[in-house]
Amino acid sequence: MVKISFQPAVAGVKGDKADKAAEERPPQPRYKKGGSVGSVCYLSMGMVVLLTGLVFASVYIYRYFFLAQLARDNFFHCGVFYEDPLSAQMPARMELEEDVKIYLEENYERINVPVPQFGGGDPADIIHDFQRGLTAYHDISLDKCYVIELNTTIVLPPRNFWELLMNVKRGTYLPQTYIIQEEMVVTEHVNDKEALGSFIYHLCSGKDTYRLRRRATQRRITKRGAKNCSAIRHFENTFVVETRICGVV
């Protein structure tokens, strides 16, 4: 009875349901269709957002590491071309390369001059300690250390040298330049190297170390080998310096 009375109801419900389903079903594919288009839209928008995020992230990461690296090691490998009046060939276009490390906080510069390709002086390690006001040359081929007062008219301070090198870092070569010569004379043996400051101490420890004095009467450019002198060519400014270190005569 209940069943019977229920049946039509069920049928009615079924019919209703079927109707509803029929009503509901047609939109379903439409909905689904629209959904697939929509999801493609959402997907591509998501991709765009993701890609934009990725691009921004990589820009940030790149800049972060680039700047961090700049701040961490102020290391430069740089070179310069210069006219050399001492050379046999004319005109003599010489090339000098060196590694420069600039320590802005500690206020000193460290320069390594490798073995020159065309016989332009000795390889050397050089420290310009602006805190102590001292320059030290380690002549690598003689394995001797020479110390003299820092000449601030020749050597750019760390910040200025850093700016100069930053401006040419892309090209790595400084503009064509000239060479000046300075002559030093050995004055005395240095026993207390710790008094030279820790940077020069580390450079010169275990090496014969001498004090230098600038030779005042230096007018003409002297040919190499003319005296018992060694020469180191380097630059810490817009020009090249040949430092001649001569024994006591």
Ligand X SMILES: *[C@@H]1O[C@H](CO)[C@@H](O)[C@H](O)[C@H]1NC(C)=O
Peptide bond into 116 cis (omega under 30): no
In the complex, what is the shortest distance from the CB of residue 62 to ligand X, in angstroms, rounded to a whole number? 42
Least distance in angstroms from the C-beta of 240 to ligand X: 12
Q: How far is the CB of 216 from ligand X (least distance, A)?
A: 8
CA atoms of 106 and 162, how far apart (whole Å): 13
Between 48 and 115, name the residue whose CB sits nearer to ligand X.
115
- Helix (H), strand (E), coil (C) string for the chain: CHHHHHHHHHHHHHHHHHHHHHHHCCHHHHHHHHHHHHHHHHHHHHHHHHHHHHHHHHHHHHHHHHHHHHHHCCEEEEEEEEECCCCCCCCCEEEEEEEEEEECCCCEEEEEECCCCCCCCCCEEEEEECCCCEEEEEECCCCEEEEEECCCCCCCCHHHHHHHHHHHCCCCEEEEECEEEEEEEEEEECCCHHHHCHHHHHHHCCCEEEEEEECCCCCCCCCCCCCCEEEEEECCCCCEEEEEEECCC
**Which residues sit at the interface with ligand X, rule CB under 6 A?**
151, 153-154, 180, 182, 214, 228-230, 245-247
- Of 99 and 239, the one with the shorter C-beta distance to ligand X is 239
Q: Which amino acid is at 203?
A: L
Q: Name the residue nearer to ligand X (CB basis): 165 or 245.
A: 245
Closer CB to ligand X, residue 148 or residue 174?
148
Q: Which residue's CB is nearer to ligand X, number 76 or number 130?
A: 130
CB of 115 to ligand X, least distance (A): 17
Q: How far is the CB of 236 from ligand X (least distance, A)?
A: 12
Q: Please state at what angle helix 27-72 crosses helix 2-24, rounded to 10 degrees.
A: 50
Cβ proximity to ligand X, 86 vs 180, nearer residue: 180
Q: How far is the CB of 229 from ligand X (least distance, A)?
A: 6
Q: Cβ of residue 72: shortest distance to ligand X, in angstroms? A: 32
What angle (nearest 5°) sits at the alpha carbon of residue 19, between those of residues 16 and 20? 85
Please, which residue, 76 or 210, has the CB nearer to ligand X? 210
